[in-house]
Amino acid sequence: MIQFKVDEKRCIQCGECAADCPAGVIAMEEYPTMANEEGCLRCQHCLAICPTAAVSILGRNPDDSTALEGNLADPVQLATLVKGRRSVRRYKKRDLPAELIDELLEVSWHAPTGVNSQAVLFTVVREGRVMDKLRAEMMGELGKVMAAGQLTDDLVGQYLGMALKAWQEEGTDIIFRSAPHLLLTSAPKSSPCPVQDTHIALTTFQLLAHARGVGTVWDGMFMMALAVCPDLAKWLAIPEDHEIGYAMVFGESEVEYHRTVQRGPALVNVVQ
């Protein structure tokens, strides 16, 4: 199952794989060996840290990994990406290439998860025509809740009431911002950190998307709609034993931002 293999011709017996293993399941004999398969977190630190690409685990060939030296992001450009990312609320009525969406999801899958559970499920709308169906379903459900007088008087009820009115009277979609795609993350409630894992995955997706020139916005309005119309989660085929993390819409931006915003100073509590 774990398939821990060491190429003895490449191994320089440095012991880094054993020293770095967070679960301490690699024993350093003449060459490293897997001492406890069940205890392995499957994090692949052993494969990543080996200076000579001698370690293979989970059937992965270390030569298929990307070398880090010379390939890491420039920190100044990364900071500009973080500061220059804006919530996009106007989208082109065009689907993104499916391959681009797949690439973003595959890379986002590398985001960390508690105890390396890797259990986050990406529920994605890859086509604008499916988004249209989802929108129709959501507005229909919201209409029923409203007609039954079940929209609460609080902020959620007020926001959803306003969104429904804008849709019915002007055809304006405040909830999805007429974006062609949606990404929702969920994870089994039984996993160690479902809430954190789902949020980290979306944050990772968002930065990668913006690096590719794809606009996104976190969709709290849709989360509100999901809360009052639980059947929408069934419509999206989200497993019932999953905790829904959050949702984000995305697509080709209709707007272009020309500079970073200026925030801060950051709130910092220095412990003395």
Ligand X SMILES: Cc1cc2nc3c(=O)[nH]c(=O)nc-3n(C[C@H](O)[C@H](O)[C@H](O)COP(=O)(O)O)c2cc1C
Residue 221 makes contact with ligand X by CB under 6 A? yes
Given the complex with ligand X, which of 25 and 217 has the nearer CB atom? 217
- How many CA within 13 A on the CB side of residue 153? 0
Q: How far is the CB of 131 from ligand X (least distance, A)?
A: 16
The pair of three-digit structure tokens given for residue 162, joined into one six-digit string: 């306003």
Given the complex with ligand X, which of 141 and 219 has the nearer CB atom? 219
Residue that has been written with the tokens 């989970």 in this structure: 58
Given the complex with ligand X, which of 97 and 220 has the nearer CB atom? 220
Q: From its phi and psi, is residue 110 left (phi > 0), alpha (psi between -120 and 50) or beta?
A: alpha
CB 162 within 8 A of CB 142: no
Q: How far is the CB of 113 from ligand X (least distance, A)?
A: 19
Distance CA 175, CA 102 (A): 24
Residue 86 makes contact with ligand X by CB under 6 A? yes
Max Cα distance, the chain (Å): 75
Q: Which of 53, 100, 218, 228 binds ligand X (CB under 6 A)?
A: 218
Given the complex with ligand X, which of 142 and 217 has the nearer CB atom? 217
SS3 109: coil
Distance CA 56, CA 43 (A): 12
Given the complex with ligand X, which of 4 and 222 has the nearer CB atom? 222
Q: For ligand X, which stretch binds (CB under 6 A), given 3-11, 82-90, 113-121, 164-172? A: 82-90
Q: For ligand X, which stretch binds (CB under 6 A), given 69-77, 81-89, 143-151, 186-194? A: 81-89
Residue 60 makes contact with ligand X by CB under 6 A? no
Residue 248 makes contact with ligand X by CB under 6 A? no
Q: How far is CA 98 from the centre of its chain?
A: 17
**Residues lying near ligand X in the complex (CB under 6 A):** 86-87, 89, 217-221
